[in-house]
Structure 1
Amino acid sequence: MKRHQVTIVDIARELQLSKSTVSRALTGHPSVNATTRQLVLELAEKLDYQRNMLAIGLITRKTNTIGIIVPEFTSSYFPTVTIAAQEEAGKAGYNTVICQSNERYETEVANTKVMLANQVDGLLVSITKETRNFDHLKIFQRKGIPIVFFNRVCDEMDAPKVVVDDYDGAYRVVSHLIERGRKRIAHLSGPPSLMISQKRLNGYKAALRKNNIEYDESLVIPYDLNIDMVHIYVNHLLNLPAPPDAIFAISDPTAIETIQVIKKRGLKIPEDIAVTGFSNDFASSLIEPSLTTVSQPVKEIGKTAAQLLIDQINRDVSEWKNIIRVLKTELIVRNSS
């Protein structure tokens, strides 16, 4: 037997109220007094009333839902940011729709269509390594739906952004390697299209310059974050006539794979070659040797991004602010350096 789905009519009949009063009470309309609203909400819960969020959205132009799009879930970084953002949104009464693009531009575009179909009130997004065209994201702003970028951002769009000081983090970790006596420091860099890659490369160069070490282009290898390729690049560096005595990797997963390749070559870390990463992934303290890295305030990134988005949602479009929040990093020195 099919279960009867409770409707606004059922609640209105039970409390002897009009349908419009019940509807306004369920959506928090200020014209309904607190006592009536409480009665409606208590009965709705008792009867297991399920609100049709899309129908409510057509009336209020809000669904109390935000979207989150991230490029991957393979490292601990993006899951942690997402959970923190989701918790912050939940405190403000927002549900979340979460998509991951698997580092593919086409998937990211498809994800944005899912968000539009779900009529999200706002969108948090970190772009893929392939994303160079942003038309699919500009649609949201044209529709009056605010966007906040985090970690991997789009500089050509006027929207709030939450990032860490990638330049300073890279500068500090490379300076640490130099202080430990390293002179030929290689850098496995990320895709040049990503701002984080550019800023970490610039921090690397600045540390060399500060310490009067000549920049050697042959020691810098940009790669597309495909971990399967790391062994090729690391072996190439180790086979150079003058191999590096340290490798600074764009990310912890890259650094961890680098350590595995070096150990297979029979070299000792850090005696023969030091390795450092960036992000302080969960596994970085568990690998042997433990990884020297740059810690990011990951939970704070998610929390801050969600707060900025909710603030934008509650403002008129004309009052949207192009805010950039730059959070500090921390050098974590472990056994790999």
Structure 2
Amino acid sequence: MAVNKHRTSLKDLARELGVSIATVSRALRNSPEIGKDMQQKVKELAKQLNYRPNPFAQSLRREAPKIIGVVVPNLVTHYYAAVLDGIENEAARAGYSVISANSHEDFDTEARVIDNFIGLHVEGIIACLAQNTTDYSHFEEIARMGIPLVFFGRTCLPDLFSSVTANGDEAAQMATQHLIDTGSRRIAFIGGPNHIDMVRRRKHGYLEALRENSLPIDRDMVICDRIDYDVALRSTIELLSRPNRPDAILAFNDIITFAAFTAIKQMGLTIPDDVALIGFTDDAHAAYVTPRMSAIEDQSHEMGATACQLLLKSIGGDKTIYRERVPQQLVIRETSAKIRL
């Protein structure tokens, strides 16, 4: 894939057409000073070279501010808020401002946000995929335009972009092993859509723990559906209504974890004696429910800071594609152990 070394500017258009920058600028604004034929030539070339006007440059007579765009699936969760905090802190130290946007787990919104960032001429982009994103053409356009981009958490196009992920496979295996060691035998996994790399990593670790302990893998104990509280609540209730219900659950993220927590209690079951529970979540909530939640905790602030550091390297001209991993921590509290260690 050919990569442009820089985004097309008015100067590029002017040089290509053999006219002044002022002529190009006026033509794009439909100025009556410029003939219709020239207006059409300028606009056709601008489209061909994927020229995007810079509203900051148009409105300011000084250098445009240095801005990073960040798009996340669900900004109201503690995880993404903490990641954004890490990004903002690192960006501020380097003299950058941050514009954040929420995709609401929606592909069309995500693609529109990316297009808006291009139009704003951000210096670079940090992104976490929406759960229903399977078409990556909007990110391929970013690569063609040479705009620095780093993924975190949920990623794609590993040959084109750097990424920061957690060791979700190892963490899930450790958590499942803990459930086995403390008396659980029918362990369910409730995750998100299977096409998400983060889901696949965590599910892989769960399955590896079952295999290593010679426990049967029951596909009915693996539920991978939308990342949505109500969906996860219904899935958990359905699981727990079976005659051979699970005696433990490993939950993919905080939304699913607390949906499962609520479902277990709604069914009149006790945690952990009837159903043990471990979730990928954060200490801001896990320690303050009753019983206190055993959890695989992200170092989300560090993940954001690391993603921003990689982006700043790319903005500075570093063409290396990095693969950084931020380790997660298994914190044992009260929801997981059926027997005392």
Query: TM-score with structure 1 length normalisation?
Result: 0.80
Q: Can you list the C-alpha shifts for 1:157-207, whole angstroms capped at 9, x where unaligned?
A: 521100010100100110000010100001102110110100101000000
Q: Which moved more, 1:290-299 or 1:101-110?
A: 290-299
- Following the alignment from structure 1 to structure 2, what is the Cα–Cα distance between the partners of residues 231 and 294? 20
Structure 2 partner of 1:107: 109
Are the aligned partners of 2:257 and 2:281 in contact in 1 as well (CA < 8 Å)? Answer: no
Structure 2 partner of 1:212: 214
Question: Do structure 1's residue 168 and structure 2's residue 170 form an aligned pair?
Answer: yes
> How large is the Cα RMSD of the aligned pairs?
1.8
The residue identity in structure 2 corresponding to 1:108 is: E
Q: Can you list the C-alpha shifts for 1:53-106, whole angstroms capped at 9, x where unaligned?
A: 52599997x741111010112320001101110111111011111111000000
Are the aligned partners of 1:88 and 1:306 in contact in 2 as well (CA < 8 Å)? Answer: yes
| SS of the residue 2:281 aligns to | coil
Alpha-carbon spacing, 1:155–1:210, altered in 2? closer, same or farther (3 Å): farther
- For residue 128 of structure 1, report the CA deviation from its aligned partner: 0.2
- Following the alignment from structure 1 to structure 2, what is the Cα–Cα distance between the partners of residues 57 and 208? 60
| SS of the residue 1:244 aligns to | coil
Structure 1 partner of 2:7: none
- Following the alignment from structure 2 to structure 1, what is the Cα–Cα distance between the partners of residues 288 and 105? 26
The residue identity in structure 2 corresponding to 1:126 is: C
Q: Which moved more, 1:224-233 or 1:115-124?
A: 224-233
- Following the alignment from structure 1 to structure 2, what is the Cα–Cα distance between the partners of residues 93 and 239? 55
Question: Do structure 1's residue 293 and structure 2's residue 295 form an aligned pair?
Answer: yes
Alpha-carbon spacing, 1:148–1:221, altered in 2? closer, same or farther (3 Å): same
Q: Can you list the C-alpha shifts for 1:15-40, whole angstroms capped at 9, x where unaligned?
A: xxxxxxxxxxxxxxxxxxxxxxxxxx
Question: Do structure 1's residue 329 and structure 2's residue 332 form an aligned pair?
Answer: no
Structure 2 partner of 1:46: none
Structure 2 partner of 1:54: 57
The residue identity in structure 1 corresponding to 2:333 is: R
Alpha-carbon spacing, 1:136–1:323, altered in 2? closer, same or farther (3 Å): same
User: Pick from 89, 104, 118: which aligns with 2:120?
Assistant: 118
Structure 2 partner of 1:270: 272
Alpha-carbon spacing, 1:201–1:136, altered in 2? closer, same or farther (3 Å): same
Query: TM-score with structure 2 length normalisation?
Result: 0.79
Unaligned runs of 5+ in 2: 1-54, 337-341
Question: Do structure 1's residue 236 and structure 2's residue 257 form an aligned pair?
Answer: no
The residue identity in structure 1 corresponding to 2:279 is: G
Structure 1 partner of 2:4: none
Q: Can you list the C-alpha shifts for 1:232-277, whole angstroms capped at 9, x where unaligned?
A: 2112111222111101111122111211111121111111110110
| SS of the residue 1:213 aligns to | coil
- Following the alignment from structure 2 to structure 1, what is the Cα–Cα distance between the partners of residues 71 and 232? 26
Question: Do structure 1's residue 149 and structure 2's residue 148 form an aligned pair?
Answer: no
Are the aligned partners of 1:63 and 1:121 in contact in 2 as well (CA < 8 Å)? Answer: no
The residue identity in structure 1 corresponding to 2:57 is: L
- Following the alignment from structure 1 to structure 2, what is the Cα–Cα distance between the partners of residues 294 and 235? 23
Alpha-carbon spacing, 1:94–1:138, altered in 2? closer, same or farther (3 Å): same
Q: How does 1:1-337 map to 2 (within 5 A)?
A: 53-55=56-58, 63-280=65-282, 282-315=284-317, 319-337=318-336
Unaligned runs of 5+ in 1: 1-51
- Following the alignment from structure 2 to structure 1, what is the Cα–Cα distance between the partners of residues 65 and 282? 36
Q: Where does structure 1 differ by over 4 angstroms across 4 or more consecutive aligned residues?
A: 55-60
Alpha-carbon spacing, 1:156–1:84, altered in 2? closer, same or farther (3 Å): closer
- Following the alignment from structure 2 to structure 1, what is the Cα–Cα distance between the partners of residues 251 and 157? 24
- Following the alignment from structure 2 to structure 1, what is the Cα–Cα distance between the partners of residues 92 and 59? 19
- Following the alignment from structure 2 to structure 1, what is the Cα–Cα distance between the partners of residues 57 and 335? 52
The residue identity in structure 2 corresponding to 1:303 is: A
